Amino acid sequence: MNRRALRTALVTLGLCTLAACIVNLSFDMPQTFTVLSAAGVTSVSQTQHVNLSDYKEISDHKNNIKSLDLDSADVTVTKAYSDNAAMVVNGTVKLKKNAADTTETPVVVGTLTNFSIQQGTTVRLPGSPAIDAFLLQQLQTAGSFDVIVDGAINSAPAHLDLTVLMHASLGYDTGLF
C-alpha cells in the first residue's frame, strides 16, 4: 500500500470513529452561598438552587446529552466576615430535587469534617455514581436541583461566603451518524 492510500484509509477510519462516538466535555458549575446564623445558634443550613440550562455547555448539547457527571466539588471559604465567630464547621454538602421536600432523601456529595472557616480554606469532595445518576435524572426531568450545605459550627454566629465549585463533565452524541 502506498503512503497516499494509507493516509486516506487512516483519515477515513478516524472520521468514522469520530462520527460514532460520544464526546466528553468538562466544565465548571460554581455556586456561592452566604452562610449566616443568628447569635447563639450553632447550626447552619443554606440552600442554592441550580438551573442546569444556565450553563452554556448544557444548553448547547441538551438534546444529545448521554451522561452528566460530577467529577468533584471544591468547597472554599471565599470570605469570613468581621462578625463571624465560627472557626470550624462539621457538616455535609447534599443535592436534592427540591430542598423543601422533607420526604426526599438527599444525595450526599461529601462531608465537611473540622473544616476550618478561614478565607482560602478548601476541601475537595469526589463525585460518585449516585451523584451522576441524580444529575442526569434532573437534566432529563426538572432541569434543576438544590445544593444544600448544612452542619454544626463551634461558635456562633457564623457569617461567611462559601463557593462550591462543581467540576462536571457531560457526554454527548455528535449526531453525525
User: Is the residue at 40 inside a domain?
Assistant: yes
Which pTM was predicted?
A: 0.83
Phi and psi torsions of 152, nearest 5°: -115, 140
> Is the torsion defined by CA of 107, 48, 115, 120 positive or negative?
positive
Q: What is the CATH number of the domain that holds 35?
A: 2.60.120
* Residue 12 belongs to some domain of the structure: no
14 in any annotated domain: no
Residue range 31-74, pLDDT digits in tens: 999 999 999 999 999 999 999 999 999 999 888 899 999 999 99
The pLDDT confidence band at residue 1, using thresholds 50, 70 and 90, is low
pLDDT recorded at residue 145: 97
**Model confidence over 121-159: pLDDT tens digits?**
999 999 999 999 999 999 999 999 999 999 999 999 999
**Which structural domain range is residue 155 located in?**
23-173
Which strands form 107-116's sheet, in the order they lie side by side? Answer: 43-51, 144-153, 88-96, 107-116
pLDDT at 10 over 50: no
What whole-number distance in Å separates Cα of residue 92 and Cα of residue 111?
Answer: 4
Does residue 17 sit within a domain? no
Q: Please check whether residue 159 lies inside any domain of the structure.
A: yes
Total structural domains within the chain: 1
Does a structural domain hold residue 16?
A: no
Residue 88 lies in a domain: yes
pLDDT tens figures, 11-20:
444 544 444 5
11 inside domain:
no
Supply 154's cell numbers. Answer: 463551634
